[in-house]
Amino acid sequence: MSRLGCVPGRELHGFAAILVAATLIAGCTSGAIPSATHDAAAIDASSATPTTAPAPSPSRTVSPMGSPMTSYEAEADGVTLKVTLDHSVLAPSEVVTFTSTLKNGRTKPVDYSIPGCGGVASLSLSVDIPHGTPGKTWSGTAQGFKDYMLTEALGAGGGPLLSPVRIDAFAEPCENDHEFEGILAPGESVTSSLTWKPEIVTGLGALAGNVPFTVSAGYDRQNDPPSYPPGAVMGMWAPIYKQLAVNGTLAVGGEALALPGPGDVVDALLADKKFVKWVEKEPRASWSSANLFLAAGRTDGFPPTVPNWELDFFLEAGVPRHFALAFVDPFDASILLIQYCDVPCVE
């Protein structure tokens, strides 16, 4: 088995190959924003009087589908992908290991794609997010803001607000010296493993229920790198492969917790007097875009350092760009932090 890496004329960094085989979904991130303040004591918001919705249903124990398969196989063109799971029914926080083997059953060599962190296969899972309750009904601008967030805001990766989150697993530790392709001799195989802990984001466990997944491996590269004259600037090139894929389901057990959802998150912010006043002074026509998604705690020294719902609210339609970012606890909907970047907004 041999491997190819980045060479002149093949300006490919390790992760570029993945971008062709799979569309990565990740939440929007934010940098350090000046004027980070949160008026924790201002909770009356007299201009936004709510009507309380019914309390959420109590937690219940979820029984996922019986015993999903633990072995899968796909074959095409004399190449076989076999995937086995060490178990398919998970307790909360229990890690599952996916072991993938790609075998060349041909009488001639076959090239295969090496994912960005090494190995032979890519793993993606579709994980539900908490929907929470519809929450409260407000008046005036406050209700307009809530309606806007729940109908216009984008969820993780720019998808619909309540759609499942796509999670991509990578080999740990991530070890790949810019290798993007390997060669299997006739009859040869290569095996690698990936793991997943049932979490929506780090520190926030996956909801009890069924989790669909896809394991895929690329083989038979379909394109060659472009050629350049001597001295020319070489552009980025990404290889394209045929794909073998298996689809399956994991079952995550445990309690069906009544976690806050988007409506509850917006309600928490509308109970903050300073935030409501900030929204009210902004003309409705200037509201330009919004995001609302679950995010892991930051590890770069900036808050929040714990899992959170992140709400991004941008205003730049007919006005200088400015915005507010808010971070809400995903367990009890308490406000962790609100950041304002007012005009003149210097990021």
Q: What is the pLDDT of residue 178?
A: 76
- Which of these ranges, 148-162, 247-261, 269-283, has the smallest mean pLDDT? 247-261
Report whether pLDDT(188) > 80: yes
Q: What is the pLDDT of residue 208?
A: 94
Report residue 337 as tokens: 């932090």
Q: What is the pLDDT of residue 3?
A: 52
- Angstrom distance (rounded) from CA 337 to CA 325: 8
Report whether pLDDT(13) > 60: no
Q: What is the pLDDT of residue 257?
A: 79
CB contact at 8 A, 336 and 308: yes
Q: What is the pLDDT of residue 173?
A: 85
Flag whether 112 is in a domain: yes
Q: What's the average model confidence in pLDDT over 107-120?
A: 95
Give, rounded to a whole angstrom, the gap between the first and last alpha carbons of the chain.
49
In this structure, the strands spanning 189-196 and 96-104 are antiparallel
Q: What is the pLDDT of residue 10?
A: 30
- Which of these ranges, 54-68, 105-119, 257-271, 282-296, has the smallest mean pLDDT? 54-68
* CA-based max dimension of the chain: 77
Q: What is the pLDDT of residue 84?
A: 98
Domain count for the chain: 1
C-alpha closest to that of 120 among 186, 215, 213: 215
Flag whether 187 is in a domain: yes
Which residue intervals of the chain are DSSP H helices? 16-21, 140-152, 262-270, 273-280
- Which of these ranges, 6-20, 70-84, 96-110, has the smallest mean pLDDT? 6-20
Report whether pLDDT(131) > 80: yes
Flag whether 211 is in a domain: yes
Flag whether 143 is in a domain: no
Flag whether 7 is in a domain: yes
Q: What are the tens digits of pLDDT across the range 316-346? A: 999 999 999 999 999 999 999 999 999 888 7
CB contact at 8 A, 194 and 85: no
- Angstrom distance (rounded) from CA 196 to CA 124: 10
Report whether pLDDT(272) > 70: yes
Torsion of CA 293, 145, 289, 284, to 10 degrees: -170
- Angstrom distance (rounded) from CA 71 to CA 87: 10
pLDDT band at 237 (very low <50, low <70, confident <90, very high): confident
CB contact at 8 A, 279 and 271: no
CB contact at 8 A, 37 and 260: no
Report whether pLDDT(195) > 60: yes
pLDDT band at 167 (very low <50, low <70, confident <90, very high): very high
**Residue 204: other Cβ atoms inside 10 A:** 21
pLDDT band at 1 (very low <50, low <70, confident <90, very high): low
User: What pTM does this model have?
Assistant: 0.79
Torsion of CA 70, 20, 3, 100, to 10 degrees: 0
Flag whether 49 is in a domain: no
Flag whether 151 is in a domain: no
- Angstrom distance (rounded) from CA 87 to CA 89: 6
- Angstrom distance (rounded) from CA 285 to CA 306: 34
Q: What is the pLDDT of residue 118?
A: 93
Query: Which amino acid type is present at position 261?
Result: G
Q: What is the pLDDT of residue 172?
A: 85
Q: What's the average model confidence in pLDDT over 42-65?
A: 39
- Which of these ranges, 59-63, 102-106, 257-261, has the smallest mean pLDDT? 59-63
Higher pLDDT, 67 or 199: 199
Q: What is the pLDDT of residue 48?
A: 46
Q: What is the pLDDT of residue 22?
A: 34
Output the CA–CA distances (angstroms, integers) from residue 216 to 18, 102, 137, 337, 339, in the order listed: 11, 10, 45, 39, 40
Q: What's the average model confidence in pLDDT over 93-118?
A: 96
- Angstrom distance (rounded) from CA 43 to CA 214: 45
Higher pLDDT, 63 or 304: 304
72 lies in which domain range? Answer: 2-26+59-130+163-256
CB contact at 8 A, 6 and 12: yes
SS3 state of residue 233: coil
CATH number at residue 246: 2.60.40.10
Report residue 322 as tokens: 């400015």
| Backbone CA torsion sign across 290, 156, 164, 244 | positive
Q: What is the pLDDT of residue 339?
A: 96
Flag whether 85 is in a domain: yes
* DSSP secondary structure code for residue 158 in this structure: G
